[in-house]
Chains A and B, each alone.
Chain A
Amino acid sequence: MTASSPSPLRRWLPWVLIVAAGLILPIVLPPFRLNLLGRFLSLGIVALGIDLIWGFTGMLSLGQGIFFALGGYAIGMFLSLDNLEPGKLPEFFDLYGVKELPGFWQPFASPLFTFFAIWVIPAVVAGLLGFLVFRNRIKGVYFSILTQAALLVFFNFFNGQQKLINGTNGLKTDTARIFGELVGSDLMQRYLFVITVVLTVGAWLLCRWLTTGRFGDALIAIRDDEPRMRFTGYNPTTYKTLVFAVAGGLAGVSGALYTVQSGIISPQFMAVPFSIEMVIWVAVGGRGTLIGAVLGAVVINYAKSLVSEQLPETWLFIQGGLFLLVVTALPDGLVGWWRLGGPAKLQAMVGWPPRTATYPSLDLDPALRSEQGEGKP
């Protein structure tokens, strides 16, 4: 067991709220707000993956946008092909004079293939990339720089390939149809919101399962002292590759959900600032807490959209300030701060300290009570 086990209420409350939100919000929220929330919640899944590799295993990836966008492109290609009249190609191909569907597009006509492609392709790409990097013992800053370089390579490739995947314009999904319903319709968006909630909870459960047992201990041990793990007989490369692939798969799912809820997938999802923002969500929410990653993603993005509606120019300053605040004052993020008794300290700081805890367990201890009782007749 971990040293600090929070009370069941504190541990479960956020998740009870999220499940309740999944059931109630689609009914009460206006479609626009619901759509925003669904998008931000799906970003929570990529953040969970980052928490897994960064918060627990100590690998700071600045290239999760690769896997995020791969998942988005998988669903985007499927939706571009779905409900096409036989023999026709998605519209953009005509613009570039492409007469025949490129070979790699073919399998995306199948819903089953797409279902797996969304998470398997990003996971495999992450696994391969990770294996090459980890086998050569590239760590720390060098790893971060390498992931960012890989991100730029992918960005430039997708951005430049008009004839293959519509280049910089990306693929639109909101005018496509699934089961005869427009993807962009309110009804469909409501379904997608519920699916997002279910998958976010599923992703959280997966990460929790990975991080609580001895496997999770091994990840933390790799973060604390990787060479020592080797001398105990563990091969950190295997662990790091595996966990990086899982984070890649989660990013793919996240990207697919985000794509269908924002209506487009474009190379902008592989832009450098976006991948750095993902890291900021996790840092602000709290590294190594899992819940913090999801909350960070949702809260920051919701704040971003609210602020941007009123004062579009100020958001970047607020985001930068938040990051500075977390780095300097809240190294464990908001959730870490909460868990370490932050609210009480804040109360004390403003001159209204919380009442000092007594020892009710001693007062209620039957052994002590009977001892006191014995003195009395």
Chain B
Amino acid sequence: MSSRSAPSADQPLLELRSVSVSFDGFWALNDLNLVLAPGELRAVIGPNGAGKTTFLDVITGKVKPTKGDVMFRGRSLVGTAEHRIARLGIGRKFQTPRVYQNLTPRRNLELAVSGNPSPFHLLFGGLESPARERVQHLLGVVGLEPFSNQPAGGLSHGQKQWLEIAMLVAQDPDLLLVDEPVAGLTDEETGRTADLLKQLSGDHTVLVIEHDMDFIRQLDSQVTVLHEGHVLCEGPMDEVQSDPRVIEVYLGVETDDLDSVENIA
């Protein structure tokens, strides 16, 4: 919702200040700094084990940073429970699609769209008609209308991906954290997902983690490259692609033969 308390123009929406996370001595994140401006669309790439998912876990409260601080609208998120962070306006889509298998897509969305997550509201308050229309609209957008009344567990992988993206949109957070949204989608669906995310940015701030370089290029956004738990470089896709350090971490060897990571994507 754009009407939410607007942060002052120069205040970043999200700021990670030298965040480090240690799992029994292994540093999954190592002195990571990152700043997201309101309304920005940002892509995060990095080889396997670069700490991309841990990075989302730290923001959403699943993992507590060993060192450093996570600020959302100038307020520290460290030590805040997951559901409170979610209520502050941070939504997350998981790497493998996680939908409620035994509920229908419609009911999945109705849970996500609910503005008030208290049990008494769910028991005594009906779903307001704007919310109902929103659910109907989103079902149409992701093409799940024909399947809206059968358990979501029976949907295909791609449909589950889209359902989860729709759930994230229904939740209407200020910051959308999207982990591998196009894994297992067709090229056409990938293009539509890119359009959707671009459309959402502006009103919302969107952070996308993805391996698919074509998809990242379609997003046409700033790219942050993670490597061994810290930021390797940042910049537009073209610049990042030709950075020798990026090529090195993706290929594991220093080479001049390949002038872009495109070749390995």
Contact = CB atoms under 8 A, between A and B. Distances in A.
Interface string B83-121: 100110001101000111111100110111010011100
Interface string B13-30: 000000000000000000
Interface stretch (A139-147, A226-234, A271-279): A226-234
A221 B103 contact: yes
A228 B112 CA distance: 10
B260 interface: no
A215 B122 contact: yes
21 contacts: A210-B123, A214-B107, A214-B110, A215-B122, A217-B100, A224-B102, A225-B100, A228-B98, A229-B83, A230-B83, A231-B83, A232-B83, A232-B86, A232-B112, A232-B167, A233-B86, A233-B87, A234-B83, A235-B81, A235-B83, A238-B118
B151 A214 contact: no
B127 interface: yes
A217 B60 contact: no
A221 B100 contact: yes
Given A3-B149, A220-B100, A223-B102, A230 B82 contact: yes
Interface in B103-161: 103-104, 107-108, 110-112, 114, 117-119, 122-123, 127, 149-151
Contacts of A218: 111, 119, 122
A232 B111 CA distance: 8
Contacts of B107: 214, 217
Nearest to B86: A233
B179 to A, nearest CB: 11
A1 interface: yes
Task: Classify chain A's interface size.
Answer: 20 to 34
A284 B10 CA distance: 62
Task: Classify chain B's interface size.
Answer: 20 to 34
Given A3-B149, A214-B110, A215-B119, 17 more contacts: A1-B149, A3-B104, A3-B150, A214-B111, A217-B100, A217-B103, A217-B110, A220-B102, A221-B108, A224-B100, A225-B99, A228-B100, A229-B83, A230-B86, A231-B92, A234-B117, A235-B117
B151 A221 contact: no
Contacts of A326: none
3 closest cross-chain pairs (CB), A and B: A230-B82, A233-B86, A215-B122
Contacts of B94: 228
A239 B119 contact: yes
A282 interface: no
B9 to A, nearest CB: 27
Contacts of B103: 217, 220-221, 224
B122 A221 contact: no
Interface in A184-226: 210, 213-215, 217-218, 220-221, 223-225
A230 B92 CA distance: 10
A359 B112 CA distance: 38
A69 interface: no
Interface string A231-260: 111111011001000000000000000000
A231 B91 contact: yes
Contacts of B75: none
B62 interface: yes
B171 interface: yes
Given A3-B149, A218-B119, A239-B119, A231 B101 contact: no
**Residue from A220, A230, A233 with most neighbouring chain B CB atoms (10 Å):** A233
B132 to A, nearest CB: 11
B119 A231 contact: no
A236 B81 CA distance: 12
B150 A221 contact: no
Contacts of A3: 104, 149-151
